[in-house]
Structure 1
């Protein structure tokens, strides 16, 4: 170990800098404590201890923030600069280690232990010195950043330790590595470290040189391409092709890079771009390729909107926009809740089924707003070409992508709410079956890889929330219907229509017709009368038109100066809308013989159906009129056969079919009627007509009949019940198997009606006939 002694000196912390022994260096000092330490050193013996901070960002370091080994230096010169800092010239003397540390408020004072280099000048020292010097010479030649004079001055040094320090100071090392050499007291060990470091730096320089040569070759190739392109540009200019495609190619290249395409699609895009560059502009192929590249660039591949997963906000938006429709709202909120928990849910595929005007399309728009997603609507009504969905092959003139890809381009994101409007109105012909093409779009297991004939590359539709709308589920093919989650939206009740008019339709029409709440007031009794006597629909479109009529007539009154405010009541409603259009919402005034009230389901919601039976002398002929379908005719035949088999029990002459002709008629003969739910109604009307017993006027019924008199379940119970409620009926007879569907009926309607569950015709007659069905 080298000889040591101790010394008390002030301490000057350095930031991002290190001083070796024998080094002469200029320092700029600005920190207050450092200035005081310098002044103390100048007063004493010009000696000061320099050590480096571990973290250069600390302004006021403590003992823990400083390396313990540094350099004892002599201050040779001190100069105050105009900006307040002090520039000093210091000379490194010895390595030193802090033995004790003292913070004197004005400056740091330390006791340091000094180390002298112990030089043996043995054979190993000489070998290490020569190797170190040789490596340093090679490094200088490779780097060309250090002058030859530096090498000469280093070569003249005879002390091994000093040579190692000087060479280290010239190498581009990290501060941590330089500190490690400073802390190496043993000279042999220090030289070995420096030899290793120079060897590594040489390797790095070699790699840099190779990379530089590679870049140079690449640049030469680029310059060559640039030169050739300029030549081509000049040739194109001479040929009259203006600026050619050079600028266009550069622009398209940038667009392809920024589009975020998957690697396989990007490769296709660049391949097509290369073709486009080579094909003359005058060629028809040029426009086809350009159009294809534009489509690839325009499609969203990665851009998405962040879902707003605030369930309370979503519920508030859905309730603001729509009254009722609880099932749909609940389904959307469930989707949000699951996505919040998983953060990686595939888009669901919902189908809102119901009559026109119940708010299916506007509900889809509200769903998009509640999710904070882009909204895109595609109407499928009348689509009968498969290419409308999948796109055309690019070999055809005027080829373009299908409506799905077009919609995604308009949406601009990969996760929009995509509305497929009127999905039940697609048809098929010799051009293909578009509903079959929709199978891939709407299958969650396939649509992550949707293939459009025009784009040809797979496109991911799995993040899209598809919502389809339909009026009639029966016209949707089974496989397609199976891929969707059906949510049925029935017609609105009178109460719901009144609420919707007050909260949505009337304010909207008042605004659109230039009125204000202060100029027009429509009372609730007037709205209810409009619903009952001026509209006949499941939705609210016709109702909105009636409100628009009231607003227009009000505008005319106000502009003419007749009144400043108009109040519409039940009494003066006819002045605005004319005479009532429908005798709607009224049951029969008294019990009738041979007239039963059936409940029917139509595309515009539910409706009541009067089934009339007339008996006349004859030979047992059964006549059916009213434009009935095959299913309804068979129901009538089954009811007739059942009554013949049970004639005596029902109090009917056993040979009635031999003496009488029976005529069954359903009014509104111009309207086609069909469906398997009129069996018990026809049977009740037949028994009533044949036995002369009246049917209760407040009773409506629905259900299919078998030859044994069993009552079979039916569909559309909610719509049928709403129509019964609108017609003023108070009792509904329905099949026992439909008990589960009663929960779907609005509570306000359930409370006002009596439901009778039956499993046999005998029970129907008991409740329907005014004498309880007794003979």
Structure 2
């Protein structure tokens, strides 16, 4: 049954009133108090509707639910401060059909829904009984509904009224109660209410189970504590002391103070319980004690704070190292990003370069710049996986791996950890240590690094790993994939002299008890020392030679045979002997069959003269000079190219049936290998067969294919530096290596003319001179007349020559 009426509206915040519900309301807003006053002037009837959002102080029409409760104001009490306390009783549901006014209060036209007793269908009776039973269970579990209220609810027989009273007693949100209020159909209302009661019962059951579990744990802990205290009291009265118990208590106290991760703490407590049950003289007890010592001493949560002052870090790097600009830039980039995102995963840096270029000392400088602890582990010759992951505790004398040992030494979980000489790691039947290192170095895995000895994960993601290697090709590919490779090529002569002046000489003078007044070494002498007494990419031998000079001067100073002065060239040769090395200079004049190539060795770059001599024969190719397989294959490829292009070079097409070629690379005792001599060999063969000399001021490097393409090579900077030292003025470089030229020092780039080639024809055009030039004669006596090759003579005739 419905009827329409006009009523003032009171918006409710955080509360909802059902029909048949009597409640006190505190009213303080002006429009709400005006609505109460209007209701008192009329018939005391008012509509109570809930707000959708409780934090809105001045609600609009859209902020109020359209279904509310028509209520009668039973009592009004004005409180100090201008507020009211109103006692209201819900009468019936009311649905807002129209808002008539919003000021000075909400005036609405309401359609009233009055519920009377209706027929009790079987479905309705089943729903009513279900709600009654569930409410009883809810009251027992929650213990928040008074027993009198439960009795009053159970006494209600009308289904609609029962639903409203039960909903008012449930701990529901306003939006959920609104769902029940808006259900005008009694059967639908009971269904909605059943869903809410069942959910609340499940939550109460879960709270009860959690409470029981917590209470049992507390009771167990209290019981154990009480029993232990009793044991202590009894032992004290008897004057006895259980050593095992005292040791276990001491270990438990250490575990509590160490603040270990939860998993580690559980493991430690479990091992302490095992230790308690062991006989005092048990051998396994020693194993458990050692294991507990390791767990307690490792820096699970100890970390140093990074010093991310970029200016200071740059000063430290420049103070410790000369040059190496790209390396320093990468380290400063890491520090800058570390400052912006402290939780960034640390990169895995790998310094690759020849010996003595400062890889290890650079890692120490990084640690000093960050103010982190520094740990070094040499991997040279490591072939046992247990060196990385440790031994299992079942072995006698088992210990954690060296990674964990290094962290114990550092005392922090975020040191700078240097793995030295990773390219010299090997493997055998004891396992593959490089595969074990994958877990250490992979940023996706090392936050749960598992050591066989510890048997609990350790977080290595905060550690900054730096690796060093001399060459990259011996590093396993999966390991290399996880690293950021930074190449440290060798130093130029100028850089070596600067390093000696700034670092090596002052260091060695101090180490030998001398000073700059007793011994002074100027730049020219240091340059002589670099050129004549050392042959390396780094500065390690240079430091040894400086130390040797200091020792000899110190001896003479003590004998009073040395007068302080600037060291001169005569002193240098007297102390160190004649220069041991001579820079291989380029040829003074062009030669037929001799081309200058560029090589990349472990001690830097060098120039390589490739000699080719044609001999009467049957097309055989002889290679000498201790060449490797790759170099031999390059010679075969060059030989094929020359044969394929004989006509263009002015060589008879059938020359290979009458001529043998002997290719020799001087310094035969030194092994040589690599593809970058391909175009040099081809040029030398073309020169020897066509009798066209190769320019003496030109050097070349590049790999050749059968079709005559020139492929890129590595180590361009070192090769160019070697060419510069040797007086080369022109260098032929593969086109694809153009981008690598920026690594070459600017003063060297300006002194050399570079030609970038992509085809062998371009190489020959630039490298070979004409057969005859004005004023030029072939310096070596040719085997045959210029421009001709021997051919078999006809029967009975003298040998004849055939022009090329």
Deviation at residue 214 of structure 1 after TM alignment: 11
Aligned twin of 1:631: 630
Partner of 1:257: 256
Corresponding residue number in structure 2 for 1:433: 432
Q: TM-score by structure 1 length?
A: 0.69
Q: Quote the offset at 1:231 in angstroms.
A: 9.4
Q: For residue 724 of structure 1, report the CA deviation from its aligned partner.
A: 1.8
Residues 578-727 of structure 1 correspond to what in structure 2 (within 5 A)?
578-727=577-726
Work out the CA distance in 1 between the residues paired with 2:542 and 2:771. 40
Q: In the TM superposition, what is the alpha-carbon distance from 1:564 to its structure 2 partner? A: 3.8
User: Structure 1 residues 248, 415: closer, same or farther in 2, change over 3 A?
Assistant: same
- Which range moves more in the overlay, 538-547 or 760-769? 760-769
CA contact (8 A) 2:553 2:562 kept: no
- 1:453 aligns to what? 452
Q: Given that residues 711 and 759 in structure 1 are in contact (C-alpha distance below 8 angstroms), is that contact kept between their aligned partners in structure 2?
A: yes
Distance 1:664 1:228 in 2: 97
Question: 1:223 and 2:229 equivalent?
Answer: yes
Once the two structures are TM-superposed, the CA of residue 266 in structure 1 deviates from its matched residue by 0.8
TM-score (norm 2): 0.67
Aligned CA distance change for structure 1 residues 286 and 773 (closer, same or farther; 3 Å) = farther
The CA deviation string for residues 55-81 of structure 1, in whole angstroms up to 9 with x for no partner, is xxxxxxxxxxxxxxxxxxxxxxxxxxx
Q: RMSD value over aligned CA atoms?
A: 2.2
In the alignment, is residue 338 of structure 1 matched against residue 362 of structure 2? no
Question: Whole-Å Cα distance in 2 between the matches of residues 534 and 720 of structure 1?
Answer: 20
Check conservation: 1:766, 1:773, Cα contact below 8 A.
no
Are the equivalent residues in 2 in contact too, given 1:229–1:246 (CA < 8 A)? Answer: no
- Mapped contact 2:692–2:771 kept (Cα < 8 A): no
Encode CA deviations 1:166-194: one digit per residue, 9 max, x unaligned. Answer: xxxxxxxxxxxxxxxxxxxxxxxxxxxxx
Residues 1:435 and 1:746: Cα distance change in structure 2 (over 3 Å): same
Displacement of 1:513 after TM fit? 0.9
Change (3 A) 1:769 1:231: farther
The range that moved more, 586-595 or 221-230, is 221-230
- Cα 1:515/1:773, change in 2 over 3 Å: farther
**Retained in 2: the 8 A contact 1:711–1:760?**
yes
Q: What secondary structure does 2:675 align onto?
A: coil
Secondary structure of the structure 1 residue equivalent to 2:293 = helix
Alpha carbons of 1:213 and 1:711: their partners in 2 closer, same or farther (altered >3 Å)? closer
CA distance in 2, matches of 1:427, 1:635: 30
Structure-1 separation of matches of 2:718 and 2:623: 26
1:397 alignment partner in structure 2: 396
Further displaced range: 614-623 or 763-772? 763-772
Q: What is the correspondence of 1:90-239 to structure 2 with a 5 Å cutoff?
A: 220-227=226-233, 234=240
Q: CA deviation at 1:717?
A: 1.4
Take 2:439 and 2:569, find their aligned partners in 1: how far apart are those partners? 54
Distance 1:702 1:654 in 2: 28
- Give 1:603 deviation, angstroms: 2.5
* Structure 1 pair 456–214 and aligned structure 2 pair: CA distance change class (3 A): closer
Change (3 A) 1:529 1:218: same
Mapping for residues 265-414 of structure 1, pairs under 5 Å: 265-414=264-413
1:520-531 paired onto structure 2 within 5 Å = 520-531=519-530
Aligned-pair distance for 1:630? 1.5
Cα distance change, pair 352–228 in 1 and its aligned pair in 2 (3 A)? farther
Shift in Å, 1:591: 2.1
Deviation at 1:246, TM superposition (A): 4.3
Are residues 632 and 217 of structure 1, via their aligned partners in 2, closer, same or farther at CA, if it must alter by over 3 Å? closer
User: Residue 470 in 1 paired to residue 469 in 2?
Assistant: yes
Structure 1 CA distance for aligned equivalents of residues 645 and 675 of structure 2: 22
Cα deviations across residues 523-564 of structure 1 (Å, max 9, x unaligned)? 111111111111111111111111011111111121111234
Relative to structure 1, the CA distance from residue 213 to residue 423 in structure 2 (aligned partners, 3 Å threshold; closer, same or farther) is closer
Deviation at 1:635, TM superposition (A): 0.7
- Over 3 Å counting, the alpha-carbon distance change for 1:617 and 1:253 in structure 2 is same
| TM superposition shift of 1:587 | 2.1
Partner of residue 550, structure 2: 551
Distance 2:641 2:609 in 1: 21
Structure 1 residues 291 and 660: CA distance shift in structure 2, 3 A: same
Is the partner of 2:466 in helix, strand or coil?
strand
Take 1:505 and 1:218, find their aligned partners in 2: how far apart are those partners?
67
CA distance, structure 2, for counterparts of residue 773 and residue 733 of structure 1:
23
Q: Give the match's secondary structure for 1:455.
A: coil
Over 3 Å counting, the alpha-carbon distance change for 1:233 and 1:326 in structure 2 is farther
SS in 1 for 2:633: helix
* CA spacing shift, 1:248–1:719, aligned 2, 3 Å: farther
Question: What are the superposed Cα offsets for residues 596-621 of structure 1, whole Å, 9 maximum, x if unpaired?
Answer: 11112222322222211122222211
- C-alpha distance in 2 between matches for 1:772 and 1:312: 62
Counterpart in the other structure of 1:737: 736
- SS of 2:583's partner is coil
Query: Conserved in 1, the CA contact under 8 Å of 2:353 and 2:487?
Result: yes
Q: Residue 532 of structure 1 contacts residue 585 of structure 1 at CA under 8 Å; is this kept in 2?
A: no
Q: C-alpha separation between the residues in 1 aligned to 2:239 and 2:677?
A: 81
Distance in 2 (alpha carbons) for counterparts of 1:214 and 1:576: 83
Which region of structure 1 is more displaced relative to structure 2, 518-527 or 605-614? 605-614
Mapped to 2, the partners of 1:631 and 1:707 lie a distance apart of: 14
What secondary structure, in the 3-state scheme, does the structure 2 residue paired with 1:252 have? Answer: helix
Compared CA separation, residues 414 and 324, structure 1 to 2 (3 A): same
| Alpha-carbon offset, residue 280 of structure 1 | 2.3
Query: Match of 1:474, SS?
Result: coil
- Helix, strand or coil for the counterpart of 1:502? helix
Write out aligned runs for 1:16-35 (5 A): none
Q: Which residue of 2 aligns with 1:512?
A: 511
Aligned residues: 557
Partner Cα distance (2:269, 2:603) in 1: 53
Tell me the secondary structure at the aligned position of residue 647 of structure 1: coil
Match of 2:561 in 1: 562
What's the secondary structure of 2:676's corresponding residue? coil
CA separation of 1:619 and 1:451: change in aligned 2, threshold 3 A: same
SS at match of 1:599: strand
Deviation sequence 1:719-775 (CA, Å, 0-9, x none):
222222232322221110111111122223222222110011111122222449999
Residues in 1 aligned to 2:275 and 2:428: alpha-carbon distance in whole angstroms? 37
